[in-house]
Structures are given as C-alpha cells and as structure tokens.
Amino acid sequence: MAIEALNAVSPNVIQSGSLKKVSTPYEAQQKFASFLKDSLNDVMKTEAESNMMTDKMIRGENVDIHQVMTAAQKSGITMQLTIEMRNKAVEAYQEIMRMQI
C-alpha cells in the first residue's frame, strides 16, 4: 500500500493552520464532528469499493486479482485504524473519568 493512500483517510486535517481559525468551543465541536463524519465516510467508501471489486470477480468479470486483493487490504487496514482510534478515544475517556477532582 502506498503511503499517499494514508492521506485519503483524513485529508482535511493536514491543512496548515486550520485549527487556529476556530474561535469558539461550538465551532471546534462542529469541526471535530465533521472530521469524524468525513473519516467514517472514507472508511465506508473503501469498504464499498472492496465489496464491488469482490462482486465483480465473483461474477466472472474481467478484474485483476491484484486489484481485488489491494482493495480488500486497504479496506481492512482502514477499518483496523478506525477501530484502534475508537479504542484509544474510549480509553482516554475512561482515564479522564477515573481522575479525582
């Protein structure tokens, strides 16, 4: 898998100075929510692409097996990344909740 493919997971984050323009907590929440939605949509797109390629191969259409396997691996990796990010967020939340004030 090419390194530039990892940029497809979150292209909006890489913009320089994008977080400095946020002036209120509400705007920050909205920006973070839209980032999460975009990231999950990207994961769903890679999953749909993998399913489409697999279906084409099953139907006997002219599809290169390497493309099918690459799409499947890309889908699996993005899903694993999403799950690990969720696990880390839940772990951080639980750690914050255990803190004594």
CA atoms within 13 A on the CB side of 8: 15
How many whole angstroms separate alpha carbon 93 and alpha carbon 78?
Answer: 23
Helix (H, G, I), strand (E, B) or coil at 99: coil
Under a CB-based contact definition with an 8 Å cutoff, are residues 57 and 68 in contact? yes
* Span 16-21, average pLDDT: 54
Query: Which two structure tokens, joined as six digits, stand for 61?
Result: 């259409």
Distances (CA, A) of 71 to 17, 51, 54: 33, 9, 9
* Span 14-27, average pLDDT: 66
| pLDDT of 94 strictly over 90 | yes
pLDDT tens for 34-93 read: 999 999 999 999 999 999 999 999 999 999 999 999 999 999 999 999 999 999 999 999
Q: What is the CA radius of gyration of the chain?
A: 18
| pLDDT of 22 strictly over 50 | yes
Query: Which two structure tokens, joined as six digits, stand for 5?
Result: 């493919």
How many whole angstroms separate alpha carbon 55 and alpha carbon 48?
Answer: 10
Under a CB-based contact definition with an 8 Å cutoff, are residues 73 and 1 in contact? yes
